[in-house]
Amino acid sequence: MQLYSTNNKSLNISLEEALFRGLSSDGGLFLPLNIPKLDATFFKNIANYSLKDIAFIVCCTLIGGDISATDLKLIIDEAINFDAPVKNIHDNIYVLELFHGPSLSFKDFGARFMASLMSYYLKRRNTDNSINILVATSGDTGSAVAQGFFNMDNIKITILYPSEKVSEIQEQQLTTLGNNITALEIDGTFDDCQRMVKEAFLDDELCQKLNLTSANSINIGRLIPQSIYYFYTYSQLPNKPLIISVPSGNFGNLSGGIIAKKMGLPVTKFIASTNINDIVPQYLDTGVYSPRQSIKTIANAMDVGTPSNFIRLSEFYSNDITKIRQDIIGRSYTDDEIRLVIKKVYSEFHYILDPHGAVAYLGLTDYLSESNINNVNGVFLETAHPAKFFEDIESILGEKITMPVSLQHAMEQQKLSIKVKNNFAALKEFLLSS
């Protein structure tokens, strides 16, 4: 795979370089120069393939020039070791459950795949030089990255999270692993954490001494695996084209879907479903892109005011809004609408939506009822297990919900965090002394 930067079309770098750089030095995001199509036989036989079969075929097509088939198989076996089932909710409305990984959010796909890919390249480099990965998190990303890199040789992970501003479950998921995972509890906000990580990457001494690498959501290693489960959806519902509603914040998940469509997946429309942070739906409506400060909602993993993958979305369509509008419909919902639909879907169909999946369900069902499109299967993405938000869900439903075993386990572990002040000097001192 050859990649260019969204700020420099003529830059041409390898997958390995893009993976370890994260962001291009010109500030742009990496994108493949060419997205190949899958052949008709693949789609004809798709119902016979498992998730891992599909992952293998998609990865061979995208990055088979960089990594041998044998090694790709090992990477996929290690990274994608959980299912993503499609279930019927009612009529032609289906859910794709993306929360069966170790941290119970869809971010496990991206984080685990990136971890396996980095580990593969590090082993081939034939040195014992370890790398240090710094991540700032407001919750879900940190736990997926921690789980993905846990116990990997030569990779140390330092996670910065804002003290008392992540949920108890998220904090337990972040802080209890130990070994190569260090959790820094920052006396400040998520913005402080993000700023401190950015400053670390600008510090020559740290970069040289520690071999710093980022693992944030714009890394190409996280984008590639996020196209795989869109194909797997079609393999479970192979007879009709799809309309897919994606609960979106930074738009990495939807970017994966667009790659799948470009590779030939029959998707009639994507719905970009958001909470009231509706920067992209508003752009689709008005043609004006105006990022702004984010507002807190109960679908908090989508509280994003400056969607970092927007530039990729736009690039996929040569920055032509007419083309974007042909494929993507925008919808946004308030917290009250989210609460109401969680209650309704539970009482009518006995399915517990999480707040993010609820946004996607609303976007899908509203669009289908307004547009009179027939002969499609409608799919919305459930990006997190509802138990991750048990306080909100239990108060909405008025009853207790069952905790998955892995969450029960995380809740019982000892918290291991190190308190650090919210300034870069304190972070640097910690990193150089550890």
Ligand X SMILES: *Cc1c(COP(=O)(O)O)cnc(C)c1O
Of 105 and 219, nearer to ligand X (C-beta) is 105
Name the minimum Å distance from CB 54 to ligand X.
20
Contact present, 82 and 101 (Cβ < 8 Å):
yes
Name the minimum Å distance from CB 316 to ligand X.
15
Of 122 and 299, nearer to ligand X (C-beta) is 299
Q: Please give the Cα distance from 399 to 146 (Å, whole number).
A: 31
Contact present, 35 and 7 (Cβ < 8 Å):
no
Q: Please give the Cα distance from 390 to 108 (Å, whole number).
A: 20
Contact present, 342 and 396 (Cβ < 8 Å):
yes
Contact present, 22 and 213 (Cβ < 8 Å):
yes
Return the H-helix or E-strand segment holding 133.
strand 131-136
Of 360 and 431, nearer to ligand X (C-beta) is 360
Name the minimum Å distance from CB 146 to ligand X.
14
Question: Beta 86-90 vs 93-97: how paired, if at all?
Answer: antiparallel
Give residues in contact with ligand X (CB under 6 A): 105, 107, 140, 217, 247-253, 301-302, 356, 383-384
Name the minimum Å distance from CB 345 to ligand X.
17
Return the H-helix or E-strand segment holding 405.
helix 405-412
Of 176 and 274, nearer to ligand X (C-beta) is 274
* Full DSSP string of 271-298: EEEESS--HHHHHHHHS----------S
Name the minimum Å distance from CB 360 to ligand X.
9
Name the minimum Å distance from CB 246 to ligand X.
7
Return the H-helix or E-strand segment holding 113.
helix 107-124
Of 101 and 247, nearer to ligand X (C-beta) is 247
Of 24 and 383, nearer to ligand X (C-beta) is 383
Name the minimum Å distance from CB 427 to ligand X.
24
Of 122 and 360, nearer to ligand X (C-beta) is 360
5 SS3 class: strand
